[in-house]
């Protein structure tokens, strides 16, 4: 139950990131959240949309894992996609913003632990 809830929450987070990066990238609130200027946001719209698409693929994999059951058939899927989220979060924290560690990597690590321990 805990593993399923955490995995679904990570999927929802990545759907939200998809929406921010693909749809709302140039909006003032999104720019504040990502710490970007209007000029930067306009110049990087296509790149951000590409990143958003990748976040959508992560969400799709996690949704697939939840649908299959993260404590049964979907467990390998959940482990794979949560590990991908964790690695992406660690890389983002090291290269872009430490905040990514707490927004993406730590939640993914907690979900991965829950799935691994079959909680």
Distance, in Å, from the CA atom of 47 to the CA atom of 69, rounded to the nearest integer, reads: 33
Task: For residues 101 and 12, give the distance between their C-alpha atoms in angstroms, rounded to a whole number.
Answer: 17
Q: What CA–CA distance (Å, rounded) separates 6 from 29?
A: 26
Every domain of the chain and the residues it spans: 2-116
Give the pLDDT confidence score for residue 6 in this predicted structure: 98
Per-residue confidence at 119, pLDDT binned at 50, 70, 90?
confident
Q: Is the pTM of this model over 0.85?
A: yes
Q: How many CB atoms lie within 10 A of CB 42?
A: 12
- Alpha carbons 49 and 58: distance in angstroms, whole number: 14
- Calculated CA dihedral for residues 58, 24, 40, 106, nearest 10 degrees: -40
Q: Answer whether residue 68 shows pLDDT above 90.
A: yes
pLDDT band for position 71 (cuts 50, 70, 90) = confident
Specify the pLDDT at position 93. 96
């Amino acid at each position: 139950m805990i593993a399923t809830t955490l995995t679904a929450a990570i999927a929802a987070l990545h759907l939200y990131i998809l929406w921010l990066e693909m749809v709302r990238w140039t909006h003032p609130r999104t720019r504040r959240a990502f710490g970007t200027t209007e000029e930067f946001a306009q110049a990087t719209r296509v790149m951000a949309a590409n990143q958003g698409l990748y976040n959508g693929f992560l969400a799709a994999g996690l949704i697939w894992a939840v649908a299959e059951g993260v404590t049964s058939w979907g467990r390998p899927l959940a482990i794979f996609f949560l590990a991908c989220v964790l690695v992406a979060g660690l890389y983002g924290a090291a290269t872009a913003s430490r905040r990514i560690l707490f927004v993406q990597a730590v939640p993914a690590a907690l979900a991965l632990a829950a799935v691994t321990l079959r909680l």
